[in-house]
Amino acid sequence: MSGLLDNFWVLLAGKVLIIATLIPVAGMVIGFAEMKLSAKMQNRVGPYFAGGRWGWAQLIADGEKFFQKEDIIPEEADAPVFKLAPMLVFVGTVALFVVIPFGPGLSIRNLDVGIFYALAVSSISTIGVLVAGWSSANKYSLMGGLRAAGQLIAYELPLVLATVGVVVMAGTMSLEGIVQAQAGWFGELGWTAGFPFIIPQFVGFVIFMTAALAELSRIPFDMPIAESELVMGYVTEYTGFRFLFFFLAEFANMFTMGALAATMFLGGYWVPGLSADVLRVAGPIILSVKIFALVFLMIWFRWTFPRFREDQLQSLAWKWLIPLSLVNIVATGIVKVVF
Amino acid sequence: MARTPILGRGLLTGMAVTFSTMMKTIFLPSKHLKTVNYPKVKEEPVARARGVIALDQEACTVCMLCARNCPDWCIYIEGHKEEKQPDKPGGRVKVRAELDRFDIDYALCMYCGICVEVCPFDALFWSPEYEYSEAHMGKMMHDMDRLQDWLEAVPDAPALES
């Protein structure tokens, strides 16, 4: 058995298989949670009949419906690019999982530039969105795509700058290292924190979550797919399976953004008082609980707040979030040097 | 009293509202749920609800006013004349119109209610019944027996003002 596991290709296939099942399942769970919770927040029942109890099979039934639909490519559309776009959106989500640690040593690959990689890869989906809007040959799609590009460029900056504070605190860019720094296992470097970074980096956490919501283009920031103005933005022309890809990518992206935030600010797989051996087993569960808490927060925001106007959205990013995150970096640096 | 402006107060208030609504709906559904689980639990429509158009066959005189005034032409009427012999010899032969067919195609009907308004003999009514949908569009043509059944749910007309 161990001989088989040592084989690089077998190990790789195993990891790919785990991620390939985990992401759609997580996306579906989050999608279902969104349906159910939004219903409760509006005094409704939500999905009820699919699957017998609580309507648990609602999203499976939805997926089945999308498979049966006709796959339409508009005549004017740039067909190869049009087909490529949903895949590009999904690639960013999947690739981000390479660096997320689910337990001590339980990551696909513990890159030294983990955060750098994660942020770089997550912005690939921006290109997917822009490409989808451009190739659809539809004015609503194009407007949606351009709005998405403007928004994602604006919010990429605070997202990156908010993580700098964490990197300064931890002294490493590896996500595994950041979790260990929060756990206080950094003995040889003289760092014995033992608390999650949300305590010293609360401002960073708020900025990161706000920017993450904007990156996901979820409701306070959903200008790119503003239904009342742009039909459905860059997904207007997509049908069937390709639409399903965008749909699932939104929820899977919530999961990955939640995973990043949980790892950087909430201590990832670590909770105080558990040893590394216990965490090796309990880690994935602890991380999932933290991720779903953050996902609940995102759902809660979505069903509470109305949509920003385009200029408000830009001024929030450029006038507030970016200066605030720069101040946060300076303050973190000073505190790090003094103490 | 004017509220003192505090940054983020409105956001937090909004979140408190949605959260408390969610908790109430989850833990006290019977009290706070605003919807009804339709096929299992049925909602009682108000008595004067405009669910469907019912027909009083006895009152209809086959005058065709409803069919002619229908904007969608969704009412189909056929009838014939019946002669009633006089009771006493020397009396006049009475002619009475009998209804053979009175169908309303609810796939076409747009519930404008003009037929109800225009009927001079009070043969058409708004009924609160609403469960008459079909899986096939062609089956939405409902005949006069069905329309007569719906008459039962029609409330009595309000008393006339003296």
| Range scoring the smallest mean pLDDT among A127-131, A189-193, B101-105 | A189-193
Please determine, for residue A12, whether its predicted confidence score (pLDDT) is greater than 60.
yes
The arithmetic mean of pLDDT across residues A144-173, rounded, is 84
CB distance A291 to A258 below 8 Å: yes
* Res. B76 pLDDT band, cuts 50 70 90: very high
- Location of each CATH 3.30.70.3270 domain in chain B: 52-153
**Running DSSP on this structure, what letter comes out for residue B84?**
E
Q: Give the pLDDT of residue A186.
A: 53
Reference A124, options A253, A225, A248; nearest CA is A253
CB distance A247 to A93 below 8 Å: no
Q: Do A41 and B21 touch (CB under 8 A)?
A: yes
CATH class of B52-153: alpha beta
Could you tell me what percentage of chain A is helix, strand and coil, using 3-state DSSP and rounding each to the nearest 5?
Answer: 70, 0, 30
- Give the H/E segment covering residue A12: helix A8-41
Q: Do A48 and B34 touch (CB under 8 A)?
A: no
Q: Do B21 and A40 touch (CB under 8 A)?
A: yes
Tens digit of each residue's pLDDT (9 = 90 or more) over A135-144: 888 888 888 8
The residue of chain B nearest to residue A301, with distances taken between CA atoms, is: B15
- d(CA A46, CA A113) in angstroms, rounded, equals 42
Q: Do A44 and B34 touch (CB under 8 A)?
A: yes
Q: Do B25 and A44 touch (CB under 8 A)?
A: yes
Tens digit of each residue's pLDDT (9 = 90 or more) over A19-57: 888 888 888 888 888 888 888 888 888 888 877 777 788
What's the gap in Å between the CA of A167 and the closest CA on chain B? 28
| Mean pLDDT score across all residues of chain B | 86
Q: Do A44 and B17 touch (CB under 8 A)?
A: no
Q: Do B15 and A40 touch (CB under 8 A)?
A: no
> What's the Cα-to-Cα distance from A84 to each of A66, A94, A129, rounded to whole Å?
18, 15, 11
Q: Give the pLDDT of residue A11.
A: 79
The residue of chain A nearest to residue B18, with distances taken between CA atoms, is: A41
The residue of chain B nearest to residue A296, with distances taken between CA atoms, is: B19
- d(CA B160, CA B162) in angstroms, rounded, equals 6
- How many residues are listed for chain B in this entry? 162
- d(CA B73, CA B141) in angstroms, rounded, equals 13
Bridge partners (DSSP) of residue B53 are B126
Of A44, A45, A303, Cβ closest to residue B18: A303
Is the minimum CB–CB distance between A293 and chain B shorter than 8 Å? no
CB distance B148 to B102 below 8 Å: no
Interface of B with A (CB under 8 A): 11, 14-15, 17-19, 21-22, 25-26, 29, 32-35, 37
Reference A333, options A167, A185, A209; nearest CA is A167
- Give the H/E segment covering residue B97: strand B94-105
- Cβ-Cβ contacts under 8 Å, A206 against chain B: none
Is A171 in a helix, a strand, or coil? coil
Bridge partners (DSSP) of residue A186 are A191
Bridge partners (DSSP) of residue B78 are B101
ipTM exceeds 0.85: no
Q: What is the DSSP string of A77-93?
A: S-HHHHHHHHHHHHHHH
Is A294 in a helix, a strand, or coil? helix
Tens digit of each residue's pLDDT (9 = 90 or more) over B6-61: 777 888 888 888 888 888 888 887 787 888 888 888 888 888 888 899 999 888 88
Q: Give the pLDDT of residue B73.
A: 92
**Running DSSP on this structure, what letter comes out for residue A279?**
H
Q: Give the pLDDT of residue A190.
A: 46
Reference A129, options A160, A77, A79, A92; nearest CA is A92
